[in-house]
Amino acid sequence: MGQEEEKQKRLSAFTGFTISEDLLKHASADCVVMHCLPAHRGEEITDDAIIGSQSVIFDQAENRLHIQKALLCSLFGGLDVGSERHQFPVKTEAKYEKTKATISS
């Protein structure tokens, strides 16, 4: 990624800042672990923290997937489903009311 020569320097600078189950034991019970992925396992977060009971990492990734698909539909102006074409316009107040009326009918 263009920063390979800095890897050792970064690893030593961030030693002790790894999210792990041991660290999470000191957090409140309602603490959740999030990560935008891809994770550098063992460096920034441990495997047990990624799959632990406080992790929502994979839910977060799934939500991001759906948002990215919606953005692509919006950017490309619609989505072909079977023989119908569904439009997903950017919603302004006027467009929202027009779209709402179209969907209702």
What is the per-residue pLDDT for 23?
A: 95
d(CA 41, CA 46): 5
Q: Are 64 and 74 in contact (CB under 8 A)?
A: no
Average per-residue pLDDT in the chain? 81
pLDDT at 3 over 80: no
Report residue 5 as tokens: 């020569």
pLDDT at 80 over 80: no
d(CA 69, CA 76): 11
Report residue 103 as tokens: 């969907």
Q: Are 33 and 49 in contact (CB under 8 A)?
A: yes
Say what percent of the chain tops pLDDT 70.
70
Three-state SS for 48? helix
pLDDT at 35 over 80: yes
What is the per-residue pLDDT for 97?
A: 65
What is the per-residue pLDDT for 5?
A: 79
Report which DSSP code applies to 55.
Answer: B
Q: Are 61 and 37 in contact (CB under 8 A)?
A: yes
Question: Within 13 Å and on the Cβ side, how many CA atoms surround 97?
Answer: 2
